Structures are given as C-alpha cells and as structure tokens.
C-alpha cells in the first residue's frame, strides 16, 4: 500500500509542477519540438524522444530571449498572459534548428583550425 501512496504523491507533485509557470513553459517547449519532429522528413522514435527532451530544455532557458524577439516583432504580445508559454513553444520549435546551426558553425570553425587555416 505504501508504494501506491508514493506513486500518488509523486504524480501529484509532477502535476503541481507542470501546472505552474515553469512546468507549462517546459511542456510547451517539448510540444514545439514534437511538432517540428512530426514535420521532419525522417522520423525515428529515438530522434523524436531526444528532440522533445532537448526542446523542453531549450524552452526552459531560451524563452526570455524568444519572448523579447516576439514582442519586438509583435508588440501586442507583451501584455498577453500566456505569452511566456507561447515563447516556450516557439523556443522548442525553432531551438532545435538553431542548435543544429550553432553546432555546425562550431564544427566548421574547429575543422578549419585543424587544417592549419586561421
């Protein structure tokens, strides 16, 4: 019986966290990256799981920057109550591509130094 109580306690804690602001942004980032994965050419379950986790983490850290860019582009978003969550979704959606571009630039730069070029 104690195991069931522990499971219920942890489930309640997870639901309480997910209904808070940080949890909603985290979940929105995962949903954004899941959306991006669904529209990709090659869909493997392993890649989708990695993208959802990565998109959630990116949303957790990138939403303030994304919200700043969004409010400059669309000034009416500044006062919306769910604008942070929408910024989390966009961060998860776009963040995967931005991370791939950044990694490709870093690898190209590191590869150029190995060849003796400055």
User: Which pLDDT score is estimated for 57?
Assistant: 92
DSSP-derived letter for residue 115 is T
- The whole model's pTM is what? 0.75
Residue 80 vs residues 3, 39, 62, 74, 84: alpha-carbon distances, Å:
42, 28, 18, 11, 9
pLDDT digits (tens, 9 = 90+) for 41-75: 888 889 889 889 999 999 999 999 998 888 888 88
pLDDT digits (tens, 9 = 90+) for 16-27: 888 888 889 999
């Amino acid at each position: 019986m104690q195991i069931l109580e522990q499971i219920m306690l942890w489930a309640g804690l997870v639901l309480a966290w997910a209904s808070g602001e940080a949890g909603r942004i985290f979940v929105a980032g995962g949903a954004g990256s899941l959306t991006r994965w669904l529209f990709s050419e090659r869909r493997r379950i392993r890649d989708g799981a990695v993208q959802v986790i990565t998109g959630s983490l990116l949303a957790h850290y990138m939403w303030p920057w994304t919200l700043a860019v969004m409010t400059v582009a669309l000034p009416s978003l500044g006062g919306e109550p769910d604008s942070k969550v929408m910024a989390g979704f966009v961060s998860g959606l776009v963040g995967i591509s931005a991370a791939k571009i950044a990694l490709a630039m870093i690898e190209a730069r590191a590869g150029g130094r190995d060849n003796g070029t400055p």
